[in-house]
Amino acid sequence: MEITSKESSWKKEEEEEEAKIQIYKYVFGFAEAAVIKCAVELKIADAIESHGRPMTLSQLSSALNCSPPLLFRILRFLVHRGIFKQQTTAEGPIAYSQTPLSRMLTTMASLLLLENSPTMVAPWHNLSAKVKADAAGHSNLFEAAHGKDIWSYAAANPAFNTLFNEGLDCNARVVTLPAILGSCRDMFNGVGSLVDVGGGNGTTLSVLVKACPWMKGINFDLPNVVSTSQEYEGVQHVGGSMFDYVPKADAAFFMWILHAWDDEECIKILKNCKEAIPENTGKVMIVDTVIDEKEENKLLLDIRLTLDIMLMTRFRKGRERTGEEWANLLKKAGFSRCIITPIVGVVPSIIQAFIS
């Protein structure tokens, strides 16, 4: 059906009217994260969970030692976004109950508090300076904000180091690893030893080794990271730099690591992995974002594109990659082939690379 000029004009007017309202979503875009952080810090979800049933405003404000009128406004905001539910009790007052999303606030609290901490938020405020002034993309906004890159900052600030590792481990333990072990456990078959490169405090590897007890694990990260790691059965902690070497194992594993580095740096790391694994049977397993602009799940695509911008604020040359870019990168590092497998329902994919 042909669209008349009058219909086209109406559509344009509707879009302009909608834009006048929608603009406020972006003006106050920070507010949603701030209120959710507030809910986590107050432990609203924890209180309802411990209570075992929906709680009234009076019960919640008493349990949390909060101002009832202010807490009401926070809860109203969160109910509107589907994070909590409200219902009428037999006694009359409205009560607040949990949702799957509010329970995730509890389990993912460490990651949320990390990403919304002043340390992590500060570099975002200079994003335009990086885009405008650094055509080569080599400036480090985190370093500009804090005087050190993120790794040196973590080494010098034990409290942040703990927050950083707990946040990343929380994401792995709650979301990513269950999805991997639920749908891709077969990729660990025949792997007698696995080195987790950039494995943090070893939580990820401990989960993998427990799920695949035939494997022995080597948790490889910077000395200041592994020095504070707890001991796990079947996991050996090794301190060092992946730019110098990678400990020998049947297979190498990366999770959310290579996206922090540019192609040249990744090739160096991957070549070190190639030297560490058997030529005929060894492989590298990479859990990382793969951007596909044709992705049908628009929420997943939006998160992946957001992560790409996040890397601009955090690392000198970090970036997310498309499937073609991952394949080209691995070929330059000396791997003959790779297999990219999306993990259903989560942000990253699994990229398996083989020497022969």
Residues tagged active-site = 259
Q: Could you tell me the sign of the dihedral formed by the alpha carbons of 44, 47, 49, 52, in that order?
A: negative
**In the chain, beta strands by DSSP E:** 55-56, 85-88, 94-97, 193-197, 216-221, 235-239, 251-255, 283-288, 290-291, 321-322, 337-342, 349-354
Distance CA 284, CA 310 (A): 25
Question: Taking Cα atoms as reference points, which of 128, 143, 134 lies closest to residue 314?
Answer: 143
- Write down the residue that tokens 């329970």 correspond to: 103
Angle between helices 57-64 and 44-51 (to 10 degrees): 110
Distance CA 248, CA 171 (A): 27
Distance CA 193, CA 186 (A): 15
Contact 271, 333 (CB under 8 A): yes
Distance CA 166, CA 200 (A): 9
